[in-house]
Amino acid sequence: MAIFQTATSSGAHLDITAKVAIFTDHVEDFDLVEIEVKLSNLNAAGGDIELYLDIAGHPVIPYPTIYERPATTSMRVFTMLLAIDTADEIVVSIKSANASDTDATYSVSVGNALRSIPALLAGSHGGLSQTEYKVHASHVSCAGVSTIIAGLSKGGQRVTTPTSCTVTIKNSTGVQVCTGIDAAPNADGVFAISIPVDGLSANTAYYAVVSIVSGAYTYADNLFFTTL
């Protein structure tokens, strides 16, 4: 996000138990902007935070946006993307439901989201083309066994170290028919899950939910097939 303007408490703490304006400024030109608000030195008991946005004197709905804060002393939120015209005034206000949030610090950044999109799409700095994961799967029935071959890619490159693959086969009405799991991919990171075809009806449409675990995350996709 390319930053337009910022505002920081700079050591001045704020009582946010009532609605308080923490940013009042005008953007430089027309653009699609995003607003980031960071709050710290909050009371550890948690409590909802209300965020009020006014653009050119008009409230942005929902007004306020309510964020449920867990038991933490800091938080960071981003607004929706907003189309702002030249010289529109942006007013950001906050309020805490916690009566002990009388000594908070803050920073607000108003940035141009469009200036970040080309770099993101190009894959720089860990952009989309570098981080998009995709599950690949195919189905074949042979010699009384139905086999699903599956793998995972990241940014178009094969992931060779996934840890497990689970397949759940359902019929056209969504009823689970059978499941299978493979926790031993081959050297290319590809799984083969074999399911006896006696659990499946001939000439019938099914779909398989294919879930692959890699690291701390699970990636899933659907595979549609018809038995012979």
Query: Edge-to-edge strand order for the sheet containing 176-182?
Result: 176-182, 164-171, 205-214, 217-226
**What are the residue ranges of CATH 2.60.120.40 in the chain?**
2-122
Convert the pLDDT of each residue in 80-128 to its tens digit: 778 777 678 889 999 999 999 999 999 988 877 665 555 445 544 444 4
In the chain, CATH 2.60.40.1930 covers 133-226
Alpha-carbon distances, residue 106 vs 9, 42, 212 (angstroms): 5, 10, 40
More confident residue, 24 or 115: 24
Model pTM score = 0.50
What gap in Å lies between CA 221 and CA 112, rounded to an integer? 34
HSE value, Cβ hemisphere, 13 Å, CA-based, for 66 = 5
Write out pLDDT tens, residues 46-81: 899 999 999 989 999 889 999 988 888 999 888 877
Listed in sequence order, the residues at least 6 apart from 211 whose beta carbon sits closer than 8 Å to its beta carbon are 135, 165, 166, 167, 168, 218, 219, 220
Name the class of domain 133-226: mainly beta
In a 13 Å sphere around the CA of 76, the CA atoms on its Cβ side amount to: 3
pLDDT at 54: 93
- What confidence score (pLDDT) does residue 132 get? 79
Is residue 37 within 8 Å of 94, Cβ to Cβ? yes
Q: Which fold has domain 2-122?
A: Jelly Rolls (2.60.120)
